[in-house]
Amino acid sequence: MAEARLAVAFQFQVTDEGEIKVHLDRRILVDVYRSIRRVIRRKLFKSRNAAIQSVFPATGISWSIFFVIFGAMQILGETSDTVSAIQDKIPQFGRLDPVTRTILVTLVSTTLLWLVWSFFLRNLLKLLLTYKGWMWSPHGATVTTKPTVLDKLTEPLIYLMTGKRVLPWKLSLPVKAWMGICKVIIGRRPKLMSLQNCMPKLPVPSVSETMNRYLLTVRPFVNDEEYARLRNLAEEFQTGLGKRLQRYLWVKSWWSSNYVSDWWEQYVYLRGRSPLMINSNYYCLDAIQFTPTHVRSARLANFITALMKFKNDIDRQTLAPRFAMGTAPLCCEQYPRTFSTTRIPQLVQDTIEHYVDSKHVALYSRGKWYVLNVIAGGRQLSPIELQKQIIWIEEASLTDVAAPGEADLSAMTSGERSKWASFRETFFSKGANKHSLNLIEQSLFVAILDDSEPGYDPENPDMLNNYAKGMLCGDHIWYDKSFSVVCFKNGKIGMNAEHAWADATIISHLAEECFNWDIELGYDSSGNCRGQPRDDTILSPPRRLRWDIPAEAVDQIAVARNVADGMKEDLDLHILKHDNYGKGFIKTCKVSPDAYIQIALQLAHYKNQGKFCLTYESSMTRLFRSGRTETVRSCTSESCAFVRAVLDKQPKEECKALLKSAVNRHTDLFRESMSGKGVDRHMFCLYIVSKYLGEESPFLQEVLSEPWRLSTSQTPYGQGTHTDLRKFPDRISAGGGFGPVADDGYGVSYIIAGEDNIFFHVSSKKASSHTNSRKFAADISEAMQDIRSLFQ
């Protein structure tokens, strides 16, 4: 691009008299200069961050300290042995003058010792981070111990170390010592990726541990005969094939950064042939009661600016790494693929492509696709400049005529993967179609201008339901992109994300930060972006993508649209805004809010189905390098005992005791899964090893084919500089959700929004006669009230 601009900026003409006249366009030359400067700065940032990461946790300050010490030792003559050793190895060294020799010895010795120090600190920190006892240490609302004078004096120190108001008298002495040592090694402001090399590997549990945990999780919903059969299968596997598979898995864990994640991405996501829409992708919503502007072009321009700030923070690694309890770092390996990433369909296994130099957004409006340049003239466009470009697209799309098949082309990304791969290879592998498709796939992300006006009305719940449904299975979302942004006519925003490249915690962090940055950027009194366009940059209008789609391909696109419409019609999605009480009340019960909600879901499901079922709750393993997720099997013997007691109307005190037991059991399961002691990922990897070896395991086949008829997940909130919901209660977000995992089951996503609100996103399929999302949402509300009544 820079060469093309230079060709336009520098032109010459030969006159009839033989004179050469040179024409220079100053503004284009400035653009070229800025482009070159931007590339150089990006490479310098990348090199600098790579150097910092390679020696972390050692710093330049520690190198300076070593240099001063060695310099003093040289002056005092304490390093004569070092000088002699170097002189013996390098004869020319002795010919140097004393000053030069002193400087060189100090530099070499300092650097070598500093590198050894870096290696020592890195492995010490890795060893410290293998400790997970802090998760079991009493803290939070469950502790009633009164603070001592020493505790009050050390509270400021804990705040300095953790960055959070963690009260020290709610932590044990070993945990406080562990936190202090870790924070001293990590420092105050590590880079985003600095801690990656210091993170421990995910441990491989023993087969016996996994078998015992598995049998405990299936006991609640199988009879004695079935349980005995499963126990025999587990014992046979443990003493037989399991030992051999475990040895191979141990070997893999030694040479890979994470023994699960690469196989999980490959076999669970990329080899899946079912449609991404509903089955894999997920969505997140805007604040439902607050819209900073109703001018669509302005809202999208500000939001794009906020997204680019997030991208720049990732590229420069100025985005602060995530920590648990302010001390234990979370793996940030997924962040670099947030932007400019696309899932490419293949016949057998898809691939994930990440493009480094993307500078544009692929924008859809009224059946047409456009290229919106976010970076032009060697700089990022301001919000007001982006708004003018978006207005140009809005106006052009009113008169432009869509090419045949263009309006519904995105339907191909929503369908069966092998069909999309074959279609892409046949009709989009050359010419204009390939060029335009590449521009969409290589974009930073996809943006869609939608002419509908979703929102929230307490008197009309379907309004919010349709908003969510449009984000999960909207007509024009490009489901292959890492994420797509939909901006509606009334200024509302929503996002849809592909699941293979990263988990929902990354997108929820992105959304939370960008929604708040959008508000900080602000709008003028008319609702437009602030500021004025710069006049030192030539802005070309957005480009219209050109297509040459043959009639056969148009027919296939129409079929894909009909299939997508059928899937959308079959989706039963309902959002429950539970505002009777929230986290504030739950904390007064001195229990974990997440565990409390999970027990309520068990009670609601039994009311809805009349039986217990295998329940999936997603937890993270990002306390380990390359960690992603693990399964918490939420239906336990303790939760079932509580549900039966409530439905049998047992005394309140008995029900409260059973609730405490169920909550404690669930909390332990969650901690175990975060510590690498889960059941499902270990058995999944054993199954993959068995397939590589050509071995058949009836036990593993049966375990991994069990349906998850209740799949749940909590959307995290408060990962960044979040809004104070007590000060701005109308800015609560409804979070996001996903589709049901089983055809006859439910998918439930929930977000704890502030102290007084919990949103539940309940999904199922209308084709199933056993499910009804609206009825299940009502059962959840009733179950929440049943549990609250125990404390009244």
Active site residues: 499
Element (H, E) at 360: strand 360-365
Please tell me the distance from the alpha carbon of residue 583 to that of residue 528, in angstroms, as a whole number.
Answer: 37
Q: Which phi and psi (to 5°) does residue 629 adopt?
A: -135, 165
Map residue 16 onto helix, strand or coil: coil
The answer to whether the beta carbons of residues 374 and 386 sit under 8 Å apart is: yes
SS3 helix, strand, coil % of the chain, rounded to 5? Answer: 50, 15, 35
The answer to whether the beta carbons of residues 605 and 710 sit under 8 Å apart is: yes
- Long-range (24+ apart) CB contacts under 8 A made by 143-150 are 143/169, 143/170, 145/169, 145/170
- Cβ-based neighbour number of residue 752 at 10 Å: 22
CA dihedral for 114, 115, 116, 119, sign (positive or negative): positive
Contacts of 177 (CB under 8 A, 6+ apart): none
Please tell me the distance from the alpha carbon of residue 234 to that of residue 245, in angstroms, as a whole number.
Answer: 14
For 409, 438, 495, 545, 571, the CA distances from 488, given in Å and listed in that order, are 20, 26, 11, 22, 22
Can you say how many angstroms the Cα of residue 714 is from the centroid of all Cα atoms in its chain? 13
User: Which DSSP category does 616 fall into?
Assistant: E
Q: Which phi and psi (to 5°) does residue 528 adopt?
A: -90, 165
CA dihedral for 87, 90, 94, 96, sign (positive or negative): negative
For 114, 116, 121, the CA distances from 64, given in Å and listed in that order, are 9, 15, 17
Contacts of 744 (CB under 8 A, 6+ apart): 707, 709, 765, 768, 770, 771
Please tell me the distance from the alpha carbon of residue 415 to that of residue 37, in angstroms, as a whole number.
Answer: 43
For 201, 444, 583, 604, 748, the CA distances from 592, given in Å and listed in that order, are 28, 39, 9, 18, 18
The answer to whether the beta carbons of residues 481 and 342 sit under 8 Å apart is: yes
Q: Is 657 exposed, middle or buried (0-12, 13-18, 19+ CB in 10 A)?
A: middle
Q: Which phi and psi (to 5°) does residue 636 adopt?
A: -120, 170
User: Which DSSP category does 330 fall into?
Assistant: P
- Residue 578 tokens, joined: 């539970």
Please tell me the distance from the alpha carbon of residue 500 to that of residue 274, in angstroms, as a whole number.
Answer: 13
| Distance between first and last Cα of the chain | 69
Map residue 373 onto helix, strand or coil: strand
Contacts of 418 (CB under 8 A, 6+ apart): 273, 345, 347, 348
What is the total residue count of the chain?
792
Please tell me the distance from the alpha carbon of residue 429 to that of residue 446, in angstroms, as a whole number.
Answer: 21
Residue-wise burial string across 529-564, b where 16 or more C-beta atoms lie within 10 A, e elsewhere: beeeeeeebebeebebbebebeeebbebbeebbebb
